[in-house]
């Protein structure tokens, strides 16, 4: 029991000691990608989007982080989000880079869809920095996503 409490205190301490790497942007409206997403399937009318954006920049831990993100998505969020992995440095994805102000090797962007329109997004940058502690990775990502869902 004492070991569990110590672990919880350590994880909470880590969460406080790391600067927030997420930002919520309240943005109502639409863009062509959201319109296409919603119109392609009526089930998407109120189903939000989880984008995993990566770049061509070298990143030793990005593929491992992407796998961990996918596992968490499948276990907890498959009913709330559709997941898309996108290389935002591809020429045809420049609009995504601009829309979500992407510059890091790995970012998770959650886009709230309600009534067929984008209602805002939440960007989590550099989750690859958390892969050395799988427990922390999972708890941090769950916390970030749940914060988004509750805003």
With bands split at pLDDT 50, 70 and 90, how would you rate the model's confidence at 1?
A: very low
User: What is the total residue count of the chain?
Assistant: 151
3-state secondary structure of 88: coil
Furthest CA-CA distance within the chain = 53
At 131-147, the pLDDT tens digits run 999 999 999 999 999 99
Domains delineated in the chain:
19-149 (3.40.30.10)
Q: Quick one: DSSP state of residue 139?
A: H
At 76-133, the pLDDT tens digits run 999 999 999 999 999 888 888 988 999 999 999 999 998 888 888 999 999 999 999 9
- Count CB atoms within 10 A of the CB of residue 55: 19
Q: Phi, psi at residue 9, to the nearest 5°?
A: -65, -40
| pLDDT score for 18 | 42
């Amino acid at each position: 029991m004492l070991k569990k409490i110590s672990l919880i205190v350590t994880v909470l301490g880590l969460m406080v000691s790391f600067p927030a790497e997420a930002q919520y942007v309240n943005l109502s409206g639409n863009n062509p990608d959201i319109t296409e997403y919603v119109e392609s399937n009526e089930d998407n009318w109120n189903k939000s989007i989880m984008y995993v954006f990566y770049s061509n920049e070298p990143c030793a831990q990005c593929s491992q982080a992407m796998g961990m993100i996918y596992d968490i998505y499948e276990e907890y969020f498959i009913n709330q989000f559709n997941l898309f992995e996108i290389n935002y440095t591809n020429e045809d994805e420049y609009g995504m880079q601009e829309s979500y102000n992407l510059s890091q090797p790995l970012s998770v962007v959650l886009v709230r869809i309600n009534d067929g329109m984008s209602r805002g997004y939440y960007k989590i940058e550099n989750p690859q920095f958390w892969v050395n502690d799988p427990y922390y990775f999972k708890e941090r990502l769950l916390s970030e996503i749940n914060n988004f869902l509750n805003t």
